[in-house]
Amino acid sequence: MTDITANPTLASLPYLPYLDGAGNLNSDYQGQVGVYAVFDADKILQFIGYSRDVALSLKQHFVRQSNKCYWLKVTTINRPSRSVLETIRAAWISENGTIPPGNNGGEAEWTEAIDVKPLMTPEEQQQYQQALGDPLAETKVLKNIARRVEADIFAVLENRGLQEKLRFNPKLKEQGLLDLK
């Protein structure tokens, strides 16, 4: 088991930019198990999470909460252990003094697929209501709404300077959900 006393405090870790100078997401932690903290542009802590693939989780957070993802701090562990990861996260939250907004009731916005239904325009709501009861029509409407929301998200990410190509899971679009593939 990893000795948690060897893990750094949140304050001792350097801030790393979410995007590198070329507009790519930080991929240094691809396939690595660890705990990470996400900060906004003013370096105010927004979310602390842990993952079996830190780089993939950071990508998902960027897509879901791009306006809150500017800086990060990361520590990795050699062997996966949920209890060690949870202990580190709890220690970082305690060190921060307050629970970050993303860990205080807003966790779904950071960790769950984007549901496009609440983002429907009035016209799309009408189309969806008309399609209810016809599974093929419902799927088609949800897929079109998902494509519009996806385009909106990509426009925001491009404005943030992202150059890396990301792709949402096409099967989930049929359910009105957006999650990276």
What does the domain layout of the chain look like in residue ranges?
A: 4-111, 114-178
Report the pLDDT value the prediction gives residue 6, as an integer from 0 to 100.
Answer: 64
Average pLDDT over residues 36-48: 98
SS (H, E, C) 5-62: HHCCCCCCCCCEECECCCCCECCCCCCCEEEEEEECCCCCEEEEEEECCHHHHHHHHH
DSSP three-state, residue 91:
helix
Average pLDDT over residues 38-50: 98
- Under CATH, what is the fold of the domain 4-111? GIY-YIG endonuclease (3.40.1440)
Strand partners, 180: 168
**How many Å apart are CA 61 and CA 110, to the nearest integer?**
6
Task: Label residues 126-145 b or e (16+ Cβ within 10 Å = b).
Answer: ebbeebeeeeeebeebbbeb
Question: Is residue 7 very low, low, confident or very high in pLDDT (cuts 50, 70, 90)?
Answer: confident
Q: Each residue of 65-116: pLDDT tens digit?
A: 999 999 999 999 988 899 999 999 999 999 999 999 999 998 999 999 999 9
Q: Is pLDDT above 80 for 4?
A: no
Average pLDDT over residues 157-162: 95
**How many Å apart are CA 9 and CA 13, to the nearest integer?**
7
Q: Which helix (H) or strand (E) holds 63?
A: helix 54-64
Report the pLDDT value the prediction gives residue 18, as an integer from 0 to 100.
Answer: 95
Taken in order 41, 42, 43, 48, the sign of the CA dihedral is negative
Between 3 and 35, residue with greater pLDDT:
35
